[in-house]
Amino acid sequence: MLAMIPEISMTETLFGGLILAAALFFISRRLGLPNFWAGVLGGMLPFLLYLVYASQHWAGGDVLAIHFAVYLANAGVLSVFGSLQQKKQSMHWAPRLIIAFFIFLVVLNAILLSIASRGVPDMLAQFVLPNPEKQKVHTAFPGTVPHDKNKSYQGHLARVEQQRELGWQVSLQGAQTLQSRQAGAIAIVLLDRNGAPIEAAEVTLGLWRVANSRDDRSLTLQETAPGRYQSELTLPQAGRWLAEIVIRKEDVEFRSQQELFLDN
């Protein structure tokens, strides 16, 4: 059984694989391996290692295809470079231009992927975004709502009018300070329409990971003070989450939903 591999970003797997491929190629050539097979080794071994990583942290077929295309193109560039070096020929300007364009695309894609997963860096956001110091700005790609959650969300909207008559006041505390892959305390404060704490209720918190239902979490909160229900939580990924609070008290069920933006 494979040991658990820590999760890393797509930028790190791409550039880490490219560095490994280049190292394998030049070491193989140094050991006397033919240019073609050195290119094959430099292209295939990083991809096989990524397959092992993807078996534990699956990011989708499109991400797998991106890694395969980048590693394969890199192997081709290394093989051409090694062949010209072996023949002691200088490279024509046209292949140089193609290689430079390929490098530009890889760097550009890495920048776009970093922005999509982690957002615009704070220093850059101060110059390009309006009034970032007055509000919390989330620039990372929020993803899409999983299709299997649509019916639940529509049901929530249908219950809003009925729950309004109850007048319960529900507040989620601690979510703003949560960080990915770090344990943090999260609490729900429950009051009735008069501001009195609602005690001895069954409170559960569901967290839906946008576009990846495998990261969904559900936990039951324990009452630590009158009307205050608390638990410890660790979320695996930064970005947008949908939080659903479900409260059951005798024959009453109350549901509340809100969005969370989790920092790295």
**pLDDT (0 to 100) of residue 136:** 55
Structural domains counted in the chain: 2
**Considering the chain, what percentage of its residues have pLDDT values greater than 90?**
11
Asked if 243 and 172 sit in the same domain, the reply is yes
Asked if 156 and 258 sit in the same domain, the reply is yes
Domain that holds residue 113: 10-118
Task: Judge whether 170 lies within some domain.
Answer: yes
Mean pLDDT of the chain: 77
**pLDDT (0 to 100) of residue 97:** 78
Residue ending a domain, choose from 76, 101, 118: 118
Give the CA angle between residues 212, 217, 220 to the nearest 5°: 165
**pLDDT (0 to 100) of residue 208:** 84
Asked if 204 and 245 sit in the same domain, the reply is yes
Task: Judge whether 100 lies within some domain.
Answer: yes
CATH of the domain at 203: 2.60.40.1930
CB–CB of 261/225 below 8 Å?
A: no
Q: Tell whether the model's pLDDT for residue 1 goes beyond 50.
A: no
CA–CA gap between residue 247 and residue 255 (Å, rounded): 6
Q: Determine whether 33 is exposed, middle or buried from the number of CB atoms within 10 Å of its CB (0-12, 13-18, 19+).
A: middle
